[in-house]
Chains A and B, each alone.
Chain A
């Protein structure tokens, strides 16, 4: 099971890096989204995949009576999903605004903040 998941993670990382190398913001954003899902799957796999019961202590007991699944990776993934989803939403709006205002989603054309061929500072006075 770990092998299959590890291979899936590898494919996710490869696809996301390929997309993030693009010049177009929208493809980069898709890459970023797949990138964060690749990481979530990494956490899931790194937390050991086992077929066990949920970590709920039966009534009247002090500790679980058998081996249980590890809940921590799921808590970590949940946190990471919430964070990456909210930032991704922000990035989408930002990219859309930038596209509206700058008229391009090609990073080669986005040179407003760093214009090409700027003057050098004066050499003397």
Chain B
């Protein structure tokens, strides 16, 4: 097809020619705003006074953008934006559906609170070593993972938040941080490299990396292609990221070592990215393979939740208790994935929202308790009820929430998951969820009794840290916990929309490839 020099070429078959709309900015904003803020923070590295304000402002802007994005997605369906104008599947698409947009919103909300809390927790030295830039880049990676529509791009975002999390983890360079970070870094790198292996094989099979394109081609290839192998590799890789038993040992080795606000951010956000990636690949791309693997995933889920919480029962360090509680929560989320039904997935997604907020709040609570009681150890921490009744109130609420008791938010997702397990004829999975709830009540009830109710056993710390900023952060996170517990309908409907968004692959394909939906 020869063309004369200077002749106009019709590019509309290959490129987006319309100018970018405000909706495009909405999709890319939750990623772009943290990256830009992170870059600005690096430029003003020496002006540590400015860091906190800039970071909070950037995260608030990202939060607003996320709220706009979720409102728009709930109102008008998934939103697709294509990078560099090349039409999908050649350009990299960002595709925000109800699942990605809602998780990105909750993650950013948690990050705003952590950034606020860090203003007191991270001193000038920590800022100088780049706490806030790392945090912003990590949030960019997390939001990018939730919003991208391209599986190789998902890998890149995984690495973006992974390398930033290394930076956050070693900040301070204590001995145990170096120890924890070595294990965290190596095992997580192996996990993401496995993800890349799966993606390489997937590219060889499908010849495409766009998730919508993969979903629409999967049915035609299922006869001959080893799709089950791919699904198993993704299960292993993302199971490692999500800290599912038996590939969860990096988490209790590292999550108690960094600054408490870093631990709060990690415990709240990072494992849920693994769960999200499992939902996205297994439910949307490989549903028949998920059915094949559901028995295995159900056992993994039950083992993760029960063994996780038994680990929590054996710990003395409050932060290590919480690390095991994070693992146990991942098990509960995997139960919904094993069921694969709309109700089970709704429970999983609701639990993910709940777990992000509650785990962050619990780590921050541990930080406040340490500031007041001078220790994280359950044999020393005591007497907080008499000295700080407000801390006791927050502790009670958050522990009820994570155990799944009313009036807090943990109740409803567990109810949904138990009912979904009974409906699909797996009463033992329902039993595992309930037993985990019971053991969580025991583990955290003991924390409450020892740290809060017990009369003071050790001398008061000489200069207890001022808890007021901690109160603000805990109040900001407890409010959604109570609201989701007392009035769960809106959250359930969002989670249901999110579950149906991944169950209904044709609708997703139709938004990425509108011309096909029109035919």
Contacts and interface: CB of A to CB of B under 8 A. Distances in A.
Interface of A: 20, 25, 28-29, 32, 35-36, 38-39, 42-43, 45-48, 60-63, 72-73, 76, 79-80, 83-84, 86-87, 90-91, 94-95, 97-98, 101-102, 107, 110-114, 118-122, 125
A46 B189 CA distance: 22
Given A97-B173, A102-B175, A121-B450, A25 B182 contact: yes
Pairs of residues from A and B, 6 with the lowest C-beta to C-beta distance, nearest first: A46-B204, A113-B176, A43-B200, A113-B180, A42-B200, A112-B179
Interface stretch (B120-128, B159-167, B270-278, B420-428): B159-167
Interface string B433-444: 000000000000
Interface of B: 1-5, 9, 152, 156, 159, 162-163, 166, 170, 173, 175-183, 185-186, 189-190, 193, 196-197, 200-201, 203-205, 252-254, 256-257, 314-317, 378-379, 382, 446, 449-450, 454-455, 457
Contact of B189 (A32, A63, A80): A32
Contacts of A42: 197, 200-201, 204
Contacts of A48: 204
19 contacts: A32-B186, A32-B189, A32-B193, A35-B190, A45-B204, A46-B200, A48-B204, A60-B3, A62-B2, A62-B3, A87-B163, A91-B186, A97-B173, A98-B179, A102-B175, A107-B183, A110-B183, A121-B446, A122-B378
A86 B189 contact: no
B315 A36 contact: no
Contacts of A120: 314, 316
Contact of B190 (A20, A43, A83): A20
B196 A39 contact: yes
A117 B446 CA distance: 21
A79 B200 contact: no
A113 B256 contact: yes
Given A80-B196, A113-B254, 13 more contacts: A39-B197, A46-B201, A61-B1, A83-B159, A87-B159, A87-B185, A90-B185, A91-B186, A95-B182, A97-B178, A113-B176, A122-B450, A125-B457
Contacts of A20: 190
Nearest to A123: B446
A47 B204 contact: yes
Chief secondary structure at chain A's binding surface: helix
B193 A62 contact: no
Which residue among B166, B203, B205, B253 has the maximum number of chain A CB atoms within 10 Å of its CB?
B203
Which residue among B166, B186, B449 has the maximum number of chain A CB atoms within 10 Å of its CB?
B186
Contact of A60 (B5, B166, B382): B5
A25 B189 CA distance: 14
Which residue among B175, B178, B252 has the maximum number of chain A CB atoms within 10 Å of its CB?
B178
Given A46-B200, A90-B163, A121 B178 contact: no
A20 B190 CA distance: 9
A94 B190 contact: no
B378 A121 contact: yes
A28 B186 contact: yes
B163 A86 contact: yes
Contacts of A113: 176-177, 179-180, 183, 253-254, 256-257
B180 A119 contact: no
Contacts of B316: 118-121
B354 to A, nearest CB: 26
B241 to A, nearest CB: 15
Contacts of B166: 87, 90, 94
A79 B199 CA distance: 13
Given A87-B189, A91-B186, A110-B182, A73 B203 contact: yes
B196 A60 contact: no
A43 B152 CA distance: 11
A63 B1 contact: yes
A113 B257 CA distance: 7
B185 A61 contact: no
Contacts of B2: 60-62
A47 to B, nearest CB: 7
Nearest to B457: A125
Contact of B170 (A43, A61, A94): A94
A65 to B, nearest CB: 9
A85 to B, nearest CB: 11
A98 B170 CA distance: 11
A39 B200 contact: yes
Contacts of A38: 197
A62 B1 contact: yes
B152 to A, nearest CB: 6
Nearest to A25: B182
B130 to A, nearest CB: 14
Nearest to A95: B182
Contact of B178 (A72, A102, A118): A102
A9 B163 CA distance: 26
Contacts of B204: 42, 45-48
B179 A87 contact: no
A114 B159 CA distance: 26
A62 B9 contact: yes
A110 B190 contact: no
A83 B156 contact: yes
B341 to A, nearest CB: 34
A43 B3 contact: no
Contacts of A83: 156, 159
Contacts of A86: 163
Contacts of B179: 98, 102, 110-113
A43 B190 CA distance: 17
B152 A76 contact: yes
A125 B254 contact: no
Contact of B203 (A43, A94, A111, A114): A43
